[in-house]
Chain A
């Protein structure tokens, strides 16, 4: 329900400061998609079961469909739009191309962010740790095989 009461929320999105006026009930998924025009995070289920809406908040994966925008005030939010620097793709993005880890692409940004969060926290995870960290998100196209291979190729390169 849209509410007349709005809050000024300031956060850092992909290294850029952002200021939005949002009702207290608004979820981060809709704020980013509709107010800030960040389209890479996507609605898949609206209840935290699929992970297509994954963002990083202060480096940790968060489901933006279950996150109130007011809760990210003063925090650092990352989406895949912020991963490539000066036209240079992030190693995880490169690995996704190299290993055919995307098919329809709808869930892909979420998986890339999960891996970024994992590798930033633990540069040398085991295969089981990688699988475990990927298990929060759903992909219907790839069967996860190539996502896992892409992930392990980045781990090996470190």
Chain B
């Protein structure tokens, strides 16, 4: 059996020897390079674009927004809530730019140098328009309008009311509120985005290689924008160097590059520069929340009310609207809070769009409620662990319907927290707060829940006459290790060794339509789609074997590459023999169709992984430098197929959360100029910043045959608030109320100075 074991990754050999092929490694004969000229203003009219000086030797073509408007249709927006305003978003700006970094023209040439040189010679005349970058200012009645076709900058305003909130607040014994500003983050996959397209006029086929998480959806979006039949487009994903939600949108380059390949009749490649990636690849988070809790005399939180304001940037990207709505819908977290009154406002500003970033709304929802729970505990002088224990949804209450409409499948939040308290030595650590004199010590808790498995998946499985197995999956990985995990699952189901299995992904010509990879859903939804196909293959193989062995199907078992009559060692046929019979018309038993293939789909059911994380920090009283002294993470992602892969996801996600808590900040100045346009300004954690994590798990199975829930986003959803809570705890006696993140020394100094500490 492979499932449950830390099987080494089958992906690794090509990665560690350097043979893996990413987008920019692909070179096609006669290939051209593209470069985009981008807006340097946050808001401006384009009065003229003069390309005459840019037609350098080696330049093949230059197109502006006006040139492409009638050929490259608007970009896809998939999440549109009722009553929301959705601006039309052309791949290249037509007449007006709305954020710095918005593409206004594209240059195509013979090499990557000449197109860059030509970009400097394109003269774009702008007439600057008033811009707005602060979402609160954007909401005021005298704010400049991001989109003049709308009456204000509100994309959507949604009221979510459940239960008797007002009465519960009136009857509460205490009310505690919190304000948090969750900063804008740049997902920063190490491989930037890229697109390569080739058009074959003879067969009228467009092949697009893209560094994307969503190949099938990208095919749909490209065919819609270019008004060509979906069957004429093939999207292939090579090795993808990280995504984290930033590679699942429909981007301008995804349309323009295929169009150029069709129009020019030569392959065209575009590979993003880091500065472009930071400016013009979707950002994450950027929400301001003010939420108040009603607390009764038994320290039970009975109701929440408040407001979440999300800075959406200038345009809606594919799933932009989902993030604040999902943050709101997960706001009650792990607690039995029955009443909620929330207003969620999505606001346009002259910035790059926000969209999914690892967790996509769930980190924000979890951050808000967990910061609030710790604040309640500190304000009322109760232990934050004790407060949580009193408010958890009890283990016997599952499935549990939250007032916001989700039905949590299973969970044991108390169990996870007890384990985390034990691992961190909670009582000892609390004592340190008074015994350590040279630094301020703080402890922060986060007990959180995630929702995942939103998208359906497909698979196609074929067993060749030789007995070798190919598994095609509609999930599309970028580091998750699914080739390994899926091989483990299939090997166990068919009783063969993993070496016989090859997992294939990222090709819309060979794989049935599916949702790609995001939302912590690969293992459960992708895995179940595979199991559904494998079960049909298994059934057929058992029928063939039954005929060969003159036994009944129910008396057979698949094991060690053989199909045995149960309880015997010598009555068997080999897996290969059965596979070959499936393709042998003389030997195949009557009534069975030739071949050994199956397609499987999985209609997903939501799952709810959770965890209890505790951070211990020290703060230097002179420099306000925050040091993570200990981090304990007890995660519950249901059944575990490969603990090594799970731990890898948890550790990686945790360091992204650490970046959010302490380092990363995508900043615009008041004129809308992005200031975080290199890794020297946008600080990703390096090996030096990483503490020793103590990782542990509890296991509460989900209601699917795999029993798995999901793990990809779990620690990014859970950890940031534990760290910020710990910093606030360390400095609480000095009056520190942390509103903004990252918690940099400068920011802490400011917080304390305002308090006169």
Q: Residues on A close to B: CB < 8 A? A: 1-2, 33-34, 38-47, 49-50, 52, 79-81, 83-84, 89, 93, 96-98, 100, 102-109, 112, 131-132, 134-148
Q: Which residue of A lies closest to B113 (CB)?
A: A2
Q: Which of A52, A96, A100, A137 lies at the interface centre, i.e. has the most chain B CB atoms within 10 A of its CB?
A: A100
Q: Which residue of B lies closest to A99 (CB)?
A: B644
From A45, A105, A147, contact of B15 by CB (8 A): A105
Given contacts A43-B24, A143-B654, 14 further A-B contacts (CB under 8 A): A1-B117, A40-B19, A49-B679, A50-B190, A83-B17, A100-B481, A103-B648, A104-B242, A131-B687, A131-B688, A140-B190, A141-B479, A143-B652, A144-B690
Contacts of A144 in B (CB 8 A): 655, 685-687, 690
Q: How far is the CA of A100 from the CA of B117 in the complex (A)?
A: 42
Q: Quick check: is B629 within 8 A (CB to CB) of the other chain?
A: no
- Interface segment out of the listed B4-12, B284-292, B342-350, B426-434: B4-12
In contact, B686 and A138 (Cβ under 8 angstroms): yes
From A1, A140, A148, contact of B687 by CB (8 A): A148
Q: Quick check: is B25 within 8 A (CB to CB) of the other chain?
A: yes
Q: Quick check: is B678 within 8 A (CB to CB) of the other chain?
A: yes
Q: Which residue of B lies closest to A93 (CB)?
A: B16
Contacts of B598 in A (CB 8 A): none
Once A49-B678, A81-B17 are accepted as A-B contacts, the answer to whether A145 and B693 lie under 8 Å apart by CB is yes
| Pairs of residues from A and B, 3 with the lowest C-beta to C-beta distance, nearest first | A40-B18, A105-B15, A106-B241
Contacts of A108 in B (CB 8 A): 15-16
Contacts of A52 in B (CB 8 A): 190
Instruction: Supply 10 A–B pairs (Cβ within 8 Å), ascending by A.
Output: A2-B111, A42-B24, A43-B192, A45-B274, A49-B274, A97-B16, A102-B9, A102-B11, A106-B22, A106-B242
Output the least CB separation between B432 and chain A (Å): 23
Query: Which residues of B (367-420) have their CB < 8 Å from a CB of A?
Result: none
Contacts of B653 in A (CB 8 A): 143
Q: How far is the CA of A143 from the CA of B113 in the complex (A)?
A: 34
Q: Which of B9, B24, B111, B273 lies at the interface centre, i.e. has the most chain A CB atoms within 10 A of its CB?
A: B9
Q: How many residues of B contact A (CB 8 A)?
A: 59
In contact, B687 and A84 (Cβ under 8 angstroms): no
Q: Quick check: is B436 within 8 A (CB to CB) of the other chain?
A: no
Once A80-B17, A140-B244 are accepted as A-B contacts, the answer to whether A42 and B22 lie under 8 Å apart by CB is yes
Output the least CB separation between A59 and chain B (Å): 18
Q: How far is the CA of A144 from the CA of B190 in the complex (A)?
A: 14
In contact, B648 and A146 (Cβ under 8 angstroms): yes
In contact, A134 and B274 (Cβ under 8 angstroms): no
Output the least CB separation between A105 and chain B (Å): 3
Q: Quick check: is B515 within 8 A (CB to CB) of the other chain?
A: no
In contact, A145 and B16 (Cβ under 8 angstroms): no
Output the least CB separation between A3 and chain B (Å): 10
Contacts of B189 in A (CB 8 A): 104, 106, 140
* CB 8 Å contact bits of B109-146 with A (1 = contact, 0 = none): 00101100100000000000000000000000000000
In contact, B16 and A104 (Cβ under 8 angstroms): no
Once A80-B18, A102-B12 are accepted as A-B contacts, the answer to whether A139 and B190 lie under 8 Å apart by CB is yes
Q: Residues on B close to A: CB < 8 A? A: 6, 8-9, 11-22, 24-25, 27, 111, 113-114, 117, 188-192, 239-242, 244, 271, 273-274, 478-481, 644-645, 647-648, 651-656, 678-680, 684-688, 690, 693
In contact, B114 and A104 (Cβ under 8 angstroms): no
Q: Which residue of A lies closest to B240 (CB)?
A: A104
Contacts of B648 in A (CB 8 A): 100, 103, 141-142, 146
Q: How far is the CA of A81 from the CA of B274 in the complex (A)?
A: 25
Output the least CB separation between A144 and chain B (Å): 4
Q: Which residue of B lies closest to A132 (CB)?
A: B688
In contact, A147 and B687 (Cβ under 8 angstroms): yes
Once A109-B16, A142-B652 are accepted as A-B contacts, the answer to whether A100 and B684 lie under 8 Å apart by CB is no
Q: How far is the CA of A132 from the CA of B680 in the complex (A)?
A: 18
Contacts of B27 in A (CB 8 A): 34
Output the least CB separation between A14 and chain B (Å): 10
Count of inter-chain pairs, beta carbons less than 8 A: 173
In contact, B241 and A105 (Cβ under 8 angstroms): yes
Contacts of A139 in B (CB 8 A): 190
From A40, A42, A134, contact of B191 by CB (8 A): A42
In contact, B18 and A142 (Cβ under 8 angstroms): no
In contact, A107 and B16 (Cβ under 8 angstroms): no
Contacts of B117 in A (CB 8 A): 1
Q: How far is the CA of A96 from the CA of B478 in the complex (A)?
A: 17
In contact, B190 and A39 (Cβ under 8 angstroms): no
Contacts of A136 in B (CB 8 A): 686
In contact, A97 and B12 (Cβ under 8 angstroms): yes
From B18, B188, B192, B684, contact of A39 by CB (8 A): B18
Output the least CB separation between A134 and chain B (Å): 4
In contact, B481 and A96 (Cβ under 8 angstroms): no
In contact, A46 and B273 (Cβ under 8 angstroms): yes
Output the least CB separation between A49 and chain B (Å): 4
Q: How far is the CA of A148 from the CA of B117 in the complex (A)?
A: 41
Q: Which residue of A lies closest to B16 (CB)?
A: A93
Contacts of A142 in B (CB 8 A): 648, 651-652, 655
From A2, A104, A147, contact of B478 by CB (8 A): A104
Contacts of B14 in A (CB 8 A): 105
In contact, B480 and A103 (Cβ under 8 angstroms): yes
Q: How far is the CA of A13 from the CA of B651 in the complex (A)?
A: 35
Output the least CB separation between B524 and chain A (Å): 19
Q: Which residue of B lies closest to A84 (CB)?
A: B17
In contact, A106 and B190 (Cβ under 8 angstroms): yes
From A33, A50, A141, contact of B679 by CB (8 A): A50
Q: How far is the CA of A61 from the CA of B27 in the complex (A)?
A: 27
Q: How far is the CA of A147 from the CA of B15 in the complex (A)?
A: 14
Contacts of B22 in A (CB 8 A): 39, 42, 106
Q: How far is the CA of A132 from the CA of B273 in the complex (A)?
A: 27
Once A49-B678, A100-B648 are accepted as A-B contacts, the answer to whether A44 and B687 lie under 8 Å apart by CB is no
Q: Which of B6, B15, B685 lies at the interface centre, i.e. has the most chain A CB atoms within 10 A of its CB?
A: B15
Q: Which residue of A lies closest to B693 (CB)?
A: A145
Once A45-B274, A135-B687, A148-B687 are accepted as A-B contacts, the answer to whether A140 and B16 lie under 8 Å apart by CB is no
Q: How far is the CA of A79 from the CA of B16 in the complex (A)?
A: 11
Output the least CB separation between B210 and chain A (Å): 15
Q: Which residue of B lies closest to A107 (CB)?
A: B190
Contacts of B644 in A (CB 8 A): 100
Once A81-B17, A105-B20 are accepted as A-B contacts, the answer to whether A140 and B274 lie under 8 Å apart by CB is no
In contact, A98 and B693 (Cβ under 8 angstroms): no
Q: Which residue of B lies closest to A30 (CB)?
A: B112
Output the least CB separation between B172 and chain A (Å): 41
In contact, B13 and A105 (Cβ under 8 angstroms): no
Q: Which residue of B lies closest to A45 (CB)?
A: B274
Q: How far is the CA of A84 from the CA of B478 in the complex (A)?
A: 25
Q: How far is the CA of A138 from the CA of B480 in the complex (A)?
A: 18
Q: How far is the CA of A111 from the CA of B131 in the complex (A)?
A: 43
From A1, A50, A109, contact of B113 by CB (8 A): A1
Contacts of B17 in A (CB 8 A): 40, 80-81, 83-84, 89, 93
Q: How far is the CA of A43 from the CA of B193 in the complex (A)?
A: 11
In contact, A104 and B687 (Cβ under 8 angstroms): no
Output the least CB separation between A40 and chain B (Å): 3
Q: How far is the CA of A137 from the CA of B570 in the complex (A)?
A: 56
Contacts of A132 in B (CB 8 A): 688
In contact, B18 and A140 (Cβ under 8 angstroms): no
Once A131-B687, A138-B684 are accepted as A-B contacts, the answer to whether A96 and B16 lie under 8 Å apart by CB is yes
In contact, B684 and A140 (Cβ under 8 angstroms): yes
Once A103-B648, A104-B189 are accepted as A-B contacts, the answer to whether A81 and B18 lie under 8 Å apart by CB is yes
Q: How far is the CA of A105 from the CA of B27 in the complex (A)?
A: 20
Contacts of A41 in B (CB 8 A): 18
Contacts of B20 in A (CB 8 A): 105
Contacts of B21 in A (CB 8 A): 39
Output the least CB separation between B591 and chain A (Å): 46
Contacts of B24 in A (CB 8 A): 33, 42-43
Q: How far is the CA of A61 from the CA of B647 in the complex (A)?
A: 30
Q: How far is the CA of A49 from the CA of B188 in the complex (A)?
A: 13
Output the least CB separation between A37 and chain B (Å): 9
Q: Which residue of A lies closest to B477 (CB)?
A: A104
